[in-house]
Structure 1
Amino acid sequence: TKGVTWVCEGDPEYGIEKNDKKDRGTEVILYINEENEEFLEEGRIEGLLQKYCKFLPTPIKFGTRTETITEGEGDEQTTTEVEVDNIINNTHPIWKKQPADLTDEDYRSFYSDLYPYSTPPMFWIHLNIDYPFNLTGILYFPKIGNSIEVQKNKIQLYSNQVYVTDDVKEIVPEFLTLLHGVIDSPDIPLNVSRSYLQADQNVKKITGYITRKVADKLNELFKNDRKGYEEKWADLGVFIKYGMISDEKFNDKAQKFVLLKNVDGEFFTLDEYRDKVKDAQTDKNDRVVYIYTNNAKEHDSLIQSAKNRGYDVLEMDNIIDNHFVQHLEHKLDKITFVRVDSETVDQLVQKDETVESVMSEDEQNKVKEVFEGITGGAGPMGASVVMKPMSPEDQPVTITRPEFMRRMKEMQAMQGLGMDAFPDSFNVVVNTNHPLIAGKLAAAGDAEDQKELAQYLYNLARLNHNMLKGAELTKFINKSLDFLK
């Protein structure tokens, strides 16, 4: 029987003719032009083989390598160097084996083989299903910390151990591309359009299966070892929140194992937290108010004031928490989130309560004019002065940032958009019942004395919110030292 020669020069046309080849097998002869001679270098060839043929089911020989064989013991021990075939591929990768036959060390070793020098993963999922579609693989959970930057090209797609691509965004939900690992399925159509993949029923089933397995694994970890799960939350939180925001089915399952953490380091499920705060933090509209901070150190005095009122404060400092807060408000019944600096402490949870001011309306207007003179009034970078009767125990001057405007500004910043539509404005709330306001400042006969005291109280409030910096901070410190002399 004659052989066949197939010839192509890289265009749609090709030629086929008979030849006199006597041996069985296929020879592939590639002709390289001068511009691509790098592909003839041994290191370049081995790199391509490692990428595309690393797990082919048939052994691939690429030259030879030297092995040292040791025989005998003690003084009679001898070593011999021999040349052996250099087999570059692993024909039996662990994703093709049964999980019961593998140890944790097998999984960690395979991860290290896939991603040399990477930090070991937290845990993993072994995928293995043959009906209604065929799919095997291993997905690893890396330590991603407080980052939502999608780790593209970290999940490798194979078809019967033949490498296909590391761009799997059309096959798995985007939040799962934060994971690492391997997926192997002959049922995923190759070399087809994005729209075809999105409409393919097998791809939809595979996507749903992987999402469900990930959710089941997380729920299992939460149920079996809650303490260990909480210890991993710093690396799991962003992934789970991102998944809840971007995938409806995952959101439904994650309601059971997503955690909220307060400033005291305590963790709660969604149901647990509602039960914890509903008595003290239900407002006049029957909504449960979740008070939070995105910077516990910067907001420390505000947090302490809230806790003194019996409130609990959540720590929401993940890069994705601005979106996650709005997601929970949309999904959960009758709850609202307010940042601890969005209102004065007495208005974080709004009640049907009124506090009378000890100052007359005329006195309040005069004090307001003094503060407007030093703050610049409302403007793109200015402040709106608000006169408000509060407890004498509360701060004399407080700075608040309206929740809605601040959220919009932060979301625009996260998306890389301009922020001109949401200027950096804030409210300067003057407590008309504080002795320094109602007594000392209102009673000061000299306008300069009033201005100096108002400026000092305003700067104290700015310092409390980390807004006093540079030359202004230096000036404030010097002024404070003068007061002590």
Structure 2
Amino acid sequence: MKASSFRFSITVLLFVFLGLFALTSQVHAEQNTQQIVLESDHNAPVPGMTAEQVEQLEDTEKFTFQAGSSSSSSSSSSSSTKIDTEISRLMSLIINSLYKTREIFLRELISNASDALDKIRFMALTDPSALSQNSKLSISIAADPESNTITITDTGVGMTREQLKQNLGTIAKSGTSEFLSKVENSKGGDDVNQIGQFGVGFYSVFLVADKVTVASKSNDDDDQYVWSSQAVDDFVIAKDPRGNTLGRGTQITLHLKEDAKEFLDEKALRDLVTKYSEFINFPIYLWSSREEEIIKEKETGEDGDEDDIVEENLEDDEEDKKEEDKEQVEKVTVFDWERINTQKPLWMRYAKEIEDEEYIEFYRAMTKEPSSTPLSWTHVKGEGDTEYRSIMYIPPKVDPNFFQNLAEKAHNVRLFVKRVFITDEFELFPKWLSFLKGIVDADDLPLNVSRETLQQHRALRTISKHLVKKALDMFQQLAKDDEEKYGQFFKEYGSALKYGAIESNTHRKKIAGLLRFSSSYDPTSPGVSLDSYISRMKGSQSSIFFLSGMSVEEIEQSPFLERLLARGYEVLYLTEPIDEMLIQNMPGYNGKLFANVAKGDLKFGDEDQEDALDQQQLDEEYESLQTWLKTTLAAEIDKVTLSKRLTTSPMAIVAADYGLTGHMERLMAAQGQNNKDNDMMMNFMKMQKKTLEINPKHPIIKSLAGRSIDEMDEDTKELVMVLYETTAIRSGYPLSDLNGFTKRVETIIRKGVGASLDEEVEVDVEEAPEKSEEEKKADEAYLKSDDSIVEEDEDSHLHDEL
């Protein structure tokens, strides 16, 4: 009986054990379908304090916030604390007015954590045991939606109880400043780079949190302490009831406000770290989740014997067997630490140690353009009164709206202070260089206390001045090293450089050397420089000849080029609208003045006394023709001269020195000037009469010169008028009387083909029929219905007129 009872008991226990095992396996399987925590070099987030532990803190010793170097005063938890009005105002200012955006709280906390890590790393240089508790220096961030908290942990130097009291309980006092003062005179102090210097960055946590708990463990204290505050006038400090969970370092837990839950989103945190702290020296980890597919284990029978299962499968059909043999896959949520700041601060390294491919990859990461390759770059290290490092890139393509957006602030240059992003909303470069993209990292800049507003200061102006010079040096070096790539650069950004030559008196000469223009020397080339033009100038030539037009093809057809090209002079072809303004603001280069071959009295520089005598003789020979032409074309021209420009064309129309060329008239008309002052100026310039230059070698001009005044009949006047109008078209001017021109041309053609000058064209067309009564009624009905709709729509202010 005893033996059977024993066996029965054993059997019962066995079934109970198997049942518990099956239940445990089921629960474990259900959990696996939800989340898995991977083992990694970093532990899972340290659990926060329980509600009971937090309540225990509230019953401990309380302190009131102090300002400046004042000491914190303590009082009993049961006694009332007198509210310090000044502290309340200061806290309110920090929380509500100091920062423009709430998101910067994370930047400030990461900056403080970086400082703490820098401190312990510096201490370890002389005392390796400083890292004995944890040799890994890092920052970790974890969000917990269930508890509505964000936790930021660092393995830095940590704080003792007294340091928590002084550093976090005294507003506008920073432990960083004290630390730097201690190491300033020590050897190697220059190796320490700190960010926190204002002492208020920590309090930005109250922008998003209504309660903050700071746990910290220092090597100088045996215990781990907790600081806690609810953004009022007091805080508590107590020994951490959880014990030493950190080993060394600081853990800040933010209990978020209801309207700040957006920061619990993993993507939002990742974006903020990337935006503000991507280049912090120490690794930053984010507690992240991702979906993965795993192979589900095959289920076995209760007794674990698979033989019975095999027998049952043998009785099934072949298709069912194949389906059961397939491996089943399920999706699980995997949690692990993900490093966010994988991009290294390339600008902190020496340029000679960096490969071109590294610069290119950095550009792609910075601009988020994985397939883009910059045309060139410059790596600058500024030393002296203002120390900074910078990498500037030339993007491969200009922004299509570059000139349209000049009035707006560019966001192409990111400003860092000791690898912490400050802003991209500032104007480091002048407008004409705002296409450059890059990073500037200064050791110290005169920022406001929230680090968000740049002050106008000599240091910033110095950096700007140096970088503009370095940018121009970069362009110059690119032109020297790779003319083909520089041609590509100038095609994209040539107009910006020309704008710079107009705007900048300081850099105009250097920019002028970078300009490229199409030229008669080689019209197919991307462009020639002014230096190369001057090197090819003829003897006694004192001017740089140029001609403006809509295109190279149009300019090449101009009569103004004839004599210059025949004599071997090089002419620059200016085809961009900004070129005319450029020449007005840059009248010369290296002692040579620009000369528009379509304006004024053209001089080559090699005229001598003999040429003057020949010109005088020709003037006398053609004086009567000049007088007759001036009288006949009095409404269009101011004077008639013998041309020094023409070789094959009979005549050309030349603008006065301060008048408008045909090209400029078209440009100004296309702009549609609405400003009254501009309209008056344009009309004044357009009203200036032109000069008609005639070619004494041309058969038409010689034939006209051979006639007497009496022979100049109405037909001759009509022919001369047509000749003038065709010349105006070739010279780039619009015709003032287009109908008159077409009639005159038609008259000439009629005479040429022998058609009657008086015969009119017979017009034989059928007039269109009037509306029928049905059509009229339909139109009236439509109008009435449309009127009612208009009235209703106008009453409701929703009508769109067609």
TM-score band w.r.t. shorter chain: 0.7 to 0.9
Q: Which moved more, 1:133-142 or 1:424-433?
A: 424-433
Answering whether residue 634 of structure 2 is matched by residue 368 of structure 1, we say no
What SS does structure 1 have at the residue aligned with 2:416? strand
d(CA) in 2 for partners of 1:32 and 1:477? Answer: 83
CA deviations on 1:99-118 (whole Å, 9 max, x unpaired) are: 34443333233323333458
Q: Which of 235, 249, 255 is matched with 1:18 structurally?
A: 235
Any residues of structure 2 matched to 1:433-448 within 5 Å, and which? Answer: 433=696, 434-437=698-701, 439-440=703-704, 445=711, 447-448=713-714
Whether contact under 8 Å (1:148, 1:320) holds in the other structure is: no
Partner of 1:386, secondary structure, is: strand
Which residue of the other structure, out of 129, 134, 141, is the alignment partner of 2:387? 134
The equivalent position to 1:431 in structure 2, one of 679, 682, 694, is: 694
Superposition map of 1:1-40 within 5 A: 8=92, 10-11=96-97, 15-19=232-236, 22=240, 24-29=250-255, 31=257
Aligned counterpart, 2:575: 317
Matched, 1:402 2:642: no
Deviations 1:448-470 (A, max 9, x none): 31332122112211221344589
The 5 Å alignment of 1:58-207 reads 59=284, 61=286, 63-66=288-291, 82-90=334-342, 92-116=344-368, 120-129=373-382, 131-142=384-395, 143-144=397-398, 150=406, 152-169=410-427, 171-191=428-448, 197-200=455-458, 202-207=459-464
Task: Select which of 677, 681, 694 maps to 1:421.
Answer: 681
Q: Contact 1:173/1:247 (CA < 8 Å) preserved in 2?
A: no
Distance 1:209 1:62, change over 3 A: farther
- Check 1:455–1:323 CA distance in 2 against 1; reply closer, same or farther (3 A cut): closer
Residue identity (%): 21
Structure 1 residues 227, 88: CA separation in 2 closer, same or farther (over 3 Å shift)?
A: closer
2:473 pairs with 1:219: no
SS in 2 for 1:277: coil
Q: What does residue 727 of structure 2 align with? A: 461
Deviation at 1:237, TM superposition (A): 3.3
Q: Give the deviation of 1:270 after TM superposition.
A: 4.0
Cα deviation, 1:353-412, whole Å, max 9, x if unaligned, reads: 33523666555333323223xxxx2xxxxx434211237845333122334344998799
Count how many residue pairs are aligned between Structure 1 and Structure 2: 458
1:140 CA drift (Å): 0.8
Matched residue, 1:341: 598
Contact 1:386/1:427 (8 A) holds in 2? yes
| 1:230 CA drift (Å) | 4.5
Contact 2:416-2:439 at 8 Å conserved across structures: yes
Secondary structure at the residue paired with 2:478? Answer: helix
Higher mean C-alpha deviation, range 291-300 or range 351-360? 351-360
SS of residue matched to 2:726: helix
User: For residues 447 and 99 of structure 1, what CA distance do their matches in structure 2 show?
Assistant: 81
How far does the alpha carbon of each residue in 1:174-211 deviate from its partner, in whole angstroms, 9 at most, with x for none?
44323111111132222399x995542x3243233323
CA positional deviation for 1:27:
3.4
State the TM-score, normalized to the length of structure 1: 0.74
Larger radius of gyration: 2
Offset of residue 154 of structure 1: 1.2
Distance 1:435 1:319, change over 3 A: closer
CA–CA distance in structure 2, aligned partners of residues 322 and 29 of structure 1: 63
Q: Structure 1 residues 292, 445: CA separation in 2 closer, same or farther (over 3 Å shift)? A: closer
Aligned to 1:190, what secondary structure does the other structure show?
Answer: coil
Deviation at 1:337, TM superposition (A): 1.4
- Maintained 8 Å contact 1:459/1:476: no
SS in 2 for 1:395: coil
Aligned to 1:308: 566
**Counterpart Cα distance in 1 of 2:730 and 2:501:** 35
Q: Distance in 1 between matches of 2:292 and 2:392?
A: 34
Task: Give distance in 1, aligned partners of 2:563 and 2:237.
Answer: 92
Match of 2:717 among 451, 459, 466: 451
Alpha-carbon distance in 2 for matches of 1:218, 1:69: 55
TM-score (ref. length: structure 2): 0.48
CA distance in 2, matches of 1:448, 1:123: 67
Unaligned runs of 5+ in 2: 1-56, 66-90, 99-205, 207-230, 296-328, 754-802
Tell me the distance in 2 between the aligned counterparts of 1:89 and 1:399: 67
Are the counterparts in 2 of residues 299 and 465 from structure 1 also a CA contact under 8 Å? no
Cα distance change on mapping 1:449 and 1:181 into 2, 3 Å: same
On the 8 A contact 1:134/1:185 being kept in 2, the answer is yes
Say whether 1:290 aligns with 2:290.
no
* Local SS of the residue matching 1:310: coil
Q: Is the 8 A contact 1:358 1:432 kept in 2?
A: no
Residue 235 of structure 1 corresponds to 492
SS in 2 for 1:297: helix
Per-residue deviation, 1:313:
0.5
Aligned to 1:75: none
Q: Secondary structure at the match of 2:681?
A: coil
Partners in 2 of 1:11 and 1:342 — Cα distance? 62
Q: 1:415 to 1:274 in 2, by over 3 A?
A: farther
Question: Cα offset for 1:239?
Answer: 4.4
Structure 2 CA distance for partners of 1:124 and 1:414, relative to 1, 3 Å: farther
2:534 corresponds to which residue?
A: 274
Which residue identity does 1:233 align to in structure 2? F
